[in-house]
Amino acid sequence: MTRVLGRIAAYLVLVALGVVGIAPFLYLLVLSFKRRIEILTQVPPALTFDWATIERTYVEVLFRQGMLGFVGNSVIVVGAATVLALVIGTPAAYAFSRIRFRGDESLASSILSMRFMPPIAVAIPLFLMVKAIGLQDTYLGLILPYTAFALPLVVWIMIGFFDEIPREIDDAALVDGCTRVGVLLRVILPIARPGLVTAALFGAIFIWNEFLVALYVIDSRSHQTISLGAATLVSAQRPIDWNIAAAVGVVTVIPILIFSLLVQRYIVRGLTAGAVK
Amino acid sequence: MTAAAPAPGWSRLDRPGIAAWLLLGPCLLYLAAFAIYPLFYSLRLSFTDLSAASGTGRWVGLKNYHDLMFDPLFWTAAGNSAVMVTVSVALQIVLGTALAMFFNLHLRGSWIVRGILVLPMLITPIVVGVMWRALLNPDWGLVNWLIAGVGLEPPNWLGSIEMAMKTLILVDTWQWTPFVFIIVFARLQALPQDVFEAAQVDGAGRLVIFRHITLPLLMPAILFAAVFRAVDAFRSFDLIYGLSYGGPARSTTTLSFFSFQNGFQFQNYGYAAAVAYTMLLVLIVGTTVLLRYAPLRPGHAR
């Protein structure tokens, strides 16, 4: 009997955890479906919706406030920076995994420690640098620093994946007359594809949410990324229309929701990058 | 594989010098340009009086650091950072480990809840802040309605100086406890089962098993998660921007936010850089100490 009761209690806890996790998102969704006045008067908001209101709010947010454009900007900037970080970071990770040289461990560690750098410590210099090379308020002005943000993460994740591929595979290819670079491109990379996916997804999420550097670098509304756009629309220092704010939140969450479905399989690898064995 | 013994000659065969630098070069150059150089730039900046107002960038030596030491606002921010990091990390470690033990029961359908719990930490922190401002709204927020519904007096979550920091920690804990959970849970799943079986056969109670077997085995993962969380909580800035904007009355202004205000709002770049560098020093000292206990580097399979 106590076993059954314990079982029931455990399932109640499980459901409660699920609710605590998901309820804030659902609440945001419901708020975004309401009229401004309804949010203030209906507590809690009734679960009756009218299509015209929803359409008006989302048209306002997506087109007039430009959220759709912000999503597009983010896709361009994050996509380019992620690809660049993979192209630069993967060979380096391969070298760290395979080639021994003096100081390799401490060099790798110092690259990895850059993941811990407070953005606040580099935002101003990066902004002044970007401004000096005339890239203020351009995509490239964000892509360049963002690549540097994603790079340590990519290197970190890829080292973990390369370490798992037996060296004998490299050695066999080397004996067959392949060069190091040839081994990486033709033999190792195809095996390490899950690693590339993980590195790309986590690199992308890391910079998708970045906001401080964008705040400095981007001036014109038409170049804002999604996190910067969301921040300017709902920043805490001024009163806001809550239905609009909620819709902005929903639009920001949706791409990440899709991301998170993609990363489910890799989440532990991405978060720990093979560091916990 | 028959070649189990390490092949000592392979690296010399490959002339590692050139190959290594070819593979490493782009990455090192890139980081030198866009990570190391900005850090030195920042350091130099912290010795100047550069601001949007004066704009000269005159060298003032240690003046900014000297001013910091006598700036009560700096010490308030440092105190807030200390409270936020220690309390939220401690909370998240305890809750995250408890969650890992709970999910170790492997209830049917628990994978769905695990999937849900991953979501908060992927969400843009600014949006997390806004979401919780709605939930905790004193006039119409869902949380206060629930609290009033069971007959309690809802606290003034973000409006009172005493409460705002607690609220910030609460929201940070909602967002990041899953991080600790995921890492500790992964470790838990990888533990050899025979130890637990042996202990059970010996008649050890559950609490004894947890205290003397499970917890020590989980310690590396817990420490690892703690280091990550401590650093990220210390760097945290966007959540505060979205949730409380450092207020009310600076009660949630951490060092990150203080540096941001000086740099972006007041455009005292030199002073902001000095704050950031002080943070960096704390980070370097802090992580060096912590790293002695929690190895972060993925180990080479030698």
Domain count, chain A: 2
pLDDT in tens, B145-183: 998 888 888 888 888 888 899 999 999 999 999 999 988
Question: Are A11 and A121 in the same domain?
Answer: no
A51 and A77 both lie in a single domain: no
- Domain end point (choices A41, A62, A83): A62
- Same domain for A95 and A52: no
Q: Specify the pLDDT at position A268.
A: 66
Say if residue A134 is in the same domain as residue A28.
no
What value does the mean pLDDT take over residues A247-260?
87
Taking the C-alpha atoms of residue A17 and residue A272, their distance in angstroms, rounded to an integer, is 23
Select the residue from B2, B21, B119 to test the A interface by mutation, using most A Cβ atoms within 10 A: B119
Chain B residues within 8 A of A95 when measuring between CB atoms: 19-20, 23-24
What secondary structure letter does DSSP report for A187? I
Whether the per-residue pLDDT at A235 is higher than 80: the answer is no
- The whole-angstrom distance between A242's CA and the closest CA on chain B is 8
Residues of B in contact with A21 (CB under 8 A): 113, 116-117, 119-120, 178
How far does the CA of residue B20 sit from the closest CA of chain A (Å)?
Answer: 6
Q: Judge whether A143 lies within some domain.
A: yes
Closest-CA distance, B73 to chain A, in angstroms, reads 18
pLDDT of residue B62: 86
Tell me, yes or no, whether A145 lies in a domain.
Answer: yes
Please say whether the beta carbons of B92 and B229 come within 8 A.
yes
B171 min Cα distance to partner chain A (Å): 11
User: pLDDT at position B264, please?
Assistant: 82
Nearest to B122 among A205, A237, A277 (CB): A205
Residues A58 and A73 in one domain: no
Instruction: For residue range A39-96, list pLDDT tens digits in order.
Output: 888 778 878 788 888 888 898 888 888 889 999 999 999 999 999 999 999 999 998 8
Query: Which of A28, A44, A113 faces B145 most closely, judged by CB atoms?
Result: A44
Q: How confident is the model at residue A238 (pLDDT cuts 50, 70, 90)?
A: low
> What does the H/E/C string look like for chain B?
CCCCCCCCCHHHHCCHHHHHHHHHHHHHHHHHHHHHHHHHHHHHHCCECCCCCCCCCCECCCHHHHHHHCCHHHHHHHHHHHHHHHHHHHHHHHHHHHHHHHHCCCCCCHHHHHHHHHHHHHCCHHHHHHHHHHHCCCCCCHHHHHHHHCCCCCCCCCCCHHHHHHHHHHHHHHHHHHHHHHHHHHHHHHCCCHHHHHHHHCCCCHHHHHHHHHHHHHHHHHHHHHHHHHHHHHHCCHHHHHHCCCCCCCCCCCHHHHHHHHHHHCCCHHHHHHHHHHHHHHHHHHHHHHHCCCCCCCCCCC
How large is the C-alpha radius of gyration of chain B?
24
Taking CA atoms, A145 is separated from A84, A125, B239, in Å, by 11, 11, 21
Give the residue from A28, A62, A96 where a domain finishes: A62
- The CA-atom distances, in angstroms, between A205 and each of B171, B266, B297 are 20, 30, 22
Asked if A49 and A133 sit in the same domain, the reply is no
Residues of chain A neighbouring B273 (CB-CB closer than 8 A): 121, 124-125
Chain A, nearest residue to B20 by Cα: A95
* Chain A residues with CB-CB distance to B142 below 8 A: 23, 27, 44
Q: Is residue A277 a part of any domain in this protein?
A: no
Separation in Å, CA of B232 to nearest CA in chain A:
7
Per the CB < 8 Å rule, is A231 touching B126?
yes
Of A62, A87, A104, the residue at which a domain comes to its end is A62
Structural domain of residue A29, as residue ranges? Answer: 2-62
The model's pLDDT over B90-116, given as tens digits with 9 standing for 90+, comes to: 999 999 999 999 998 888 888 889 888
Domain match, A75 and A149 both: yes
Give pLDDT tens digits for A178-233. Answer: 888 888 888 888 888 888 888 888 888 888 888 889 988 998 888 899 989 888 88
Q: Do A163 and B300 touch (CB under 8 A)?
A: yes
Residue A31 domain-assigned?
A: yes
Residues of chain A found within 8 Å of residue B287, distances taken between Cβ atoms: 113, 116
| A57 and A74 fall within a common domain | no
Q: What is the CATH number of domain B72-291?
A: 1.10.3720.10
- Nearest Cβ partner for A118 among B107, B243, B256: B256
Chain A residues with beta carbon closer than 8 angstroms to that of B7: 167, 171
In a domain, A142, yes or no: yes
- Contact list in A for residue B4 (CB cut-off 8 A) is none
CA–CA dist A46, A207 (Å, integer): 37
Are B224 and A91 inside 8 Å of each other by CB? no
pLDDT of residue B166: 93
Residue with the larger pLDDT of the pair A28 and B287: A28
Comparing CB atoms, the residue among A11, A249, A264 nearest residue B131 is: A249
Regarding whether A82 and A39 lie in a shared domain, the answer is no
Co-location of A266 and A143 in the same domain: yes
Q: What is the arithmetic mean of pLDDT over A22-51?
A: 85
A89 within domain boundaries: yes
Determine the pLDDT at residue B97: 94
Do residue B30 and residue A88 have CB atoms under 8 angstroms apart?
yes
Cβ-based contacts of A42 with chain B (< 8 Å) = 140
Q: What is the CATH number of the domain that holds A151?
A: 1.10.3720.10
pLDDT band at A276, cuts 50/70/90?
A: very low
* Minimal Cβ distance to B273: which of A109, A124, A237: A124
**What was the pLDDT predicted at A273?**
57
Maximum separation of any 2 CA atoms in chain A, in Å: 76
Low-confidence ranges of chain B (pLDDT < 70): 1-16, 55, 291-302
State whether A12 and A109 are in the same domain.
no
Contacts of A114 in chain B (CB under 8 A): 31, 35
Tell whether A6 and A21 lie within a shared domain.
yes
- What lies within 8 Å, CB to CB, of B216 at 6+ separation is none
